């Protein structure tokens, strides 16, 4: 495996010139124009968003506008939207000098990704055979945000080490792979995965980790002075953490069935998340010499339960079942940050800036397994006759599927997500090694200076950074410096 990656790495030896003045505008303009043309050719409002809705109501004998899907899903959609842009964005502001890149590039690729996702998912799921058009409504917007989430997860592994152009390419391919993978899992295999443990998190995490493995930077230590947080950047990151944590019940319930499906998914996710907070604090404290808590754990591992509930949230997993999953996730994920992340860099050459292996990969796999087991154990006595049919959608050509079979298909879904993540990651990783993407050099990683105009005169800049700017351009270690401080 290592040889393959080495081989890939040697084949393309990028020259570093992180100037995106031509490439970034070119990509943005060309792709946005392509979006306009494709939307013009393919995308129309669905019947609930079209001005013919009042006619449609009469035909379908719908008595009130409140039955429009908009009112079932719009509040959840806005919560998901906040998770994508503020949640993921601010979670990535924790680095001392990469907050602009964290929140800014997240903004860029999410805004592009959702357009491409509407098209890709539309071709697979929402194509109206009558006129060959994609018909979109509120549920499509939620799904597009979900699709984008997969790519933002991948960005987490690469934070600070890639150029915005690379991120755009990563997103283009990521969304495409996602849509195909989702089609196979949700439609061909008829797997249930409303909150995306497999489809979103497992896929996104392995996609990002594999790319990071291909893009391994042996001399990343050169940027180590910027590879950490400062006090206030950690507080900014908590904004991201909390909005993700609070709105995860909306994420997992956003496209569940109307009524009890959405209701139950929200309750289960809420409970699991609460439990994972306690075990995260416990393990974080237990692992430090004086019991001191580590902000990295609190910012990330508390969220793992939301990931792990992605598949089973809408099932009758019981309230204590949700708590147990949350309990395990807090431990598992914190353990990952403590033990696995440093070893993965050392032995596997996977540099994972935000620790997505601990927050998305492992909990995503766990969520897939939990979903498969819960599905396999479902019974009419627990769900009721109709409840079972509705929850697993045993209708049409799947009317004869049993819960046990469904469990098997759920397990197969995990494998599909994994394969798409890893194989897709290898292909896209190789593409991203081409020496044309203006990525930063090893000593310029985690530095907003490369792609952003920074404020000229920073009043909160300590002398040490002035020192950098005015003389050698290097930042001395704190220990190399002494300040002249006199008693007056």
Sign of the four-CA dihedral 186, 191, 194, 198 = negative
Q: Which is nearer to a second copy, 8 or 238 (CB)?
A: 238
Q: Which is nearer to a second copy, 78 or 176 (CB)?
A: 78
Nearest to 206 by CA among 174, 237, 184, 162: 174
Tell me how far, at minimum, the Cβ of 310 lies from a second copy, in Å.
18
Q: Which is nearer to a second copy, 210 or 223 (CB)?
A: 223
Q: How far is residue 291's CA from residue 282's CA, in Å, rounded to a whole number? A: 9
Print the binding letters for residues 153-172 with a second copy: x by CB under 8 A, - otherwise.
-----------x--------
Answer for which of 6, 54, 128, 435 binds a second copy (CB under 8 A) is: 54
Q: Which two tokens stand for residue 227?
A: 């590879």
98 Cβ neighbours under 8 A, 6+ residues apart: 92, 159, 160, 226, 446, 447, 448
Query: How many residues interact with a second copy (rule CB under 8 A)?
Result: 161
Answer for which of 143, 171, 210, 225 binds a second copy (CB under 8 A) is: 225
Q: How far is residue 352's CA from residue 332's CA, in Å, rounded to a whole number? A: 17
Tell me how far, at minimum, the Cβ of 356 lies from a second copy, in Å.
21
Answer for which of 8, 14, 16, 45 binds a second copy (CB under 8 A) is: 45
Tell me how far, at minimum, the Cβ of 12 lies from a second copy, in Å.
22
Tell me how far, at minimum, the Cβ of 209 lies from a second copy, in Å.
26
Q: Which is nearer to a second copy, 50 or 427 (CB)?
A: 50
Tell me how far, at minimum, the Cβ of 485 lies from a second copy, in Å.
5
Show contacts with a second copy in window 165-224 (CB under 8 A): none
Q: Which H helix or E strand runs over 73?
A: helix 69-82
Give residue 66's Cα distance to chain centre. Answer: 32
Contacts 24+ apart (CB under 8 A), 179-188: 179/117, 179/120, 179/121, 179/123, 179/124, 179/147, 180/124, 180/420, 181/416, 181/417, 181/420, 182/121, 182/124, 182/147, 183/124, 183/125, 184/416, 185/413, 185/416, 185/417, 187/124, 187/125
Q: Which is nearer to a second copy, 14 or 387 (CB)?
A: 387
Give residue 168's Cα distance to chain centre. Answer: 15
Q: Which is nearer to a second copy, 2 or 384 (CB)?
A: 384
Show contacts with a second copy in window 72-111 (CB under 8 A): 72, 74-76, 78-79, 81-82, 85-86, 89-90, 93, 96-97, 99-100, 103-104, 107-108, 111
Q: Which span sits near a second copy by CB under 8 A: 2-10, 179-187, 213-221, 287-295?
A: 287-295
Q: Could you say which DSSP state residue 454 is in?
A: P
* 34 belongs to the binding site for a second copy (CB under 8 A): no
Answer for which of 383, 398, 431, 436 binds a second copy (CB under 8 A) is: 383
Print the binding letters for residues 230-269 with a second copy: x by CB under 8 A, - otherwise.
xxx-xxx-xx--xx-xxx-xx-------xxx-xxx-xx--
Q: How far is residue 55's CA from residue 261's CA, in Å, rounded to a whole number? A: 29
Q: How far is residue 191's CA from residue 393's CA, in Å, rounded to a whole number? A: 10
Show contacts with a second copy in window 466-485 (CB under 8 A): 466-467, 476-485
Show contacts with a second copy in window 108-147 (CB under 8 A): 108, 111-112, 114-115, 136-138, 141
Sign of the four-CA dihedral 75, 77, 78, 79 = positive
Show contacts with a second copy in window 389-428 (CB under 8 A): 390-391
Print the binding letters for residues 444-463 with a second copy: x by CB under 8 A, - otherwise.
-------xxxxxxxxxxxxx
User: CA 317, 75, 414: angle at the middle one, nearest 5?
Assistant: 40
Q: Which is nearer to a second copy, 49 or 222 (CB)?
A: 49
Q: Which span sits near a second copy by CB under 8 A: 44-52, 208-216, 339-347, 366-374?
A: 44-52
CB 299 within 8 A of CB 356: no
């Amino acid at each position: 495996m290592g040889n393959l990656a080495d081989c890939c790495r040697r084949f393309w030896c990028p020259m570093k010139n992180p100037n995106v003045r031509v490439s970034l505008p070119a990509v943005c303009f060309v792709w946005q124009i392509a979006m306009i043309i494709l939307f013009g050719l393919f995308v129309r409002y669905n019947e609930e968003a079209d001005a013919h809705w009042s006619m449609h109501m009469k035909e379908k004998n719908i008595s009130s506008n409140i039955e429009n899907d908009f009112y079932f899903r719009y509040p959840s959609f806005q919560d998901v939207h906040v998770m994508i842009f503020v949640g993921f964005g601010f979670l990535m502001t924790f680095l001392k000098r990469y907050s602009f890149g964290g929140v800014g590039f997240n903004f860029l690729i999410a805004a592009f990704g959702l357009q491409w996702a509407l098209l890709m998912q539309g071709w697979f799921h929402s194509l109206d055979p009558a006129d060959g058009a994609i018909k979109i409504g509120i549920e499509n917007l939620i799904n597009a945000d979900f699709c984008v989430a997969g790519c933002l997860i991948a960005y987490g592994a690469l934070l600070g080490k890639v150029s915005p152009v690379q991120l755009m390419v990563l997103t283009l391919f990521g969304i495409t792979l996602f849509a195909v993978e989702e089609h196979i899992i949700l439609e061909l295999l008829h797997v249930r995965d409303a909150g995306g443990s497999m489809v979103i998190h497992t896929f996104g995490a392995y996609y990002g980790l594999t790319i990071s493995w291909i893009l391994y930077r042996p001399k990343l230590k050169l940027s180590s002075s910027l590879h950490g947080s400062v006090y206030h950047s950690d507080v900014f990151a908590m904004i991201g953490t909390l909005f993700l944590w609070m709105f995860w019940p909306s994420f997992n319930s956003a496209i569940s069935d109307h009524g009890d499906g959405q209701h139950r998914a929200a309750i289960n996710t809420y409970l699991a998340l609460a439990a994972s907070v306690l075990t995260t604090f416990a393990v974080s404290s237990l692992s430090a010499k004086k019991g001191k808590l580590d902000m990295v754990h609190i910012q990330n591992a508390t969220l793992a339960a939301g990931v792990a509930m992605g598949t089973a949230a809408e099932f009758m997993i019981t309230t204590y079942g949700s708590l147990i999953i949350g309990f395990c996730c807090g431990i598992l994920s914190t353990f990952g940050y403590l033990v696995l992340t440093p070893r993965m860099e050392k032995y596997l050459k996977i540099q994972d800036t935000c620790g997505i292996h601990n927050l998305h990969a492992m909990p995503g796999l766990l969520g897939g397994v939990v979903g498969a087991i819960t599905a396999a154990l479902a019974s009419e006595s627990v769900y009721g006759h109709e409840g079972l049919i509705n929850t697993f959608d045993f209708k049409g050509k799947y009317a004869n599927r049993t819960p046990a079979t469904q469990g098997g298909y759920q397990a197969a879904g995990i494998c599909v997500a994994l394969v798409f993540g890893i194989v897709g990651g290898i292909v896209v990783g190789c593409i991203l090694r081409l020496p044309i993407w203006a990525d930063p050099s090893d000593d310029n990683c985690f530095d907003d200076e490369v792609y952003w105009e920074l404020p000229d005169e920073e009043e909160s800049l300590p002398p040490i950074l002035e020192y950098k700017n005015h003389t050698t351009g290097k930042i001395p270690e704190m220990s190399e410096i002494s300040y002249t401080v006199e008693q007056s």
